[in-house]
Amino acid sequence: MSDNRAEELERLHAQVRACTRCGLHATRTHAVPGTGPCPADVMIVGEAPGFNEDLQGKPFVGAAGQLLDTLLAQIGLSRESVYITNVLKCRPPQNRDPMPHEAEACAPYLKRQLELVRPKVVLVLGRHALERLLPGLGSITRLHGTFVERGELAYVPLYHPAAALHNGALVGDLQRDFDRVRTYLDRVLKPPEPEPAPAPAEPPAEQLKLL
């Protein structure tokens, strides 16, 4: 079953690379569908590809990606163990903010990625991803580091690593929030308690008399 999902995810990536649903296809070098295993316990959703991501066709490969790798390593996770994508799969010119109609056009890809990867925890990086995944819930300043549970899935809003590169004061918040992610993962990924051993059977009455 998971093989089928991984194959379907690969087909979805191919659709993204050929997508012309919004105007960003005209200015991209490469679309950036996402990378990582399928299924995966942790999925990371950022805003949109930047300069380096657009050149390489991979998410989070610039300075923000290096900071993300450091934060993941801090809680014992590697880049290879998590699935990473963005709300927008193509770079907006000059890294401008995503426009609502672009995010809307791209939304079905993210929805399908969530269905196929089936994460237990989604790390929501920055205000644009927050607005797309948890619309109307509140600002990133208020919600960062909190757990928002929706059925069997938890969302954790976090500052975007690129924002922390611009404002060093946010790095400490990001580190503390990632520590909380580790605590949460330890709780939800804990193996189930073993079934209690059945009580020994009572010896038959005849046998009791002989003892």
Cβ distance to ligand SF4 smaller for residue 86 or 130: 86
In whole angstroms, give the CA distance from residue 174 to residue 14: 33
Cβ distance to ligand SF4 smaller for residue 97 or 149: 97
Using CB under 6 A, list all residues that contact ligand SF4: 16, 19-22, 24-25, 31, 88-90, 102, 105-106
In whole angstroms, give the CA distance from residue 46 to residue 168: 19
Give phi and psi for 98, each to the nearest 5: -60, 145
The least distance separating ligand SF4 from the CB of residue 78, rounded to whole angstroms, comes to 27
The least distance separating ligand SF4 from the CB of residue 67, rounded to whole angstroms, comes to 24
The least distance separating ligand SF4 from the CB of residue 158, rounded to whole angstroms, comes to 22
What tokens appear for 82 in the block? Answer: 């998590």
On the CB side of 50, how many CA atoms lie within 13 Å of its CA?
A: 12
Cβ distance to ligand SF4 smaller for residue 106 or 181: 106
Helices of type H across 18-62:
51-56
Pairing of strands 148-150, 153-158: antiparallel
The least distance separating ligand SF4 from the CB of residue 172, rounded to whole angstroms, comes to 33
Q: How does DSSP classify residue 80?
A: G
Cβ distance to ligand SF4 smaller for residue 85 or 158: 85
**Residue 66 neighbours by CB distance under 10 Å:** 13
The least distance separating ligand SF4 from the CB of residue 108, rounded to whole angstroms, comes to 8
Cβ distance to ligand SF4 smaller for residue 104 or 149: 104
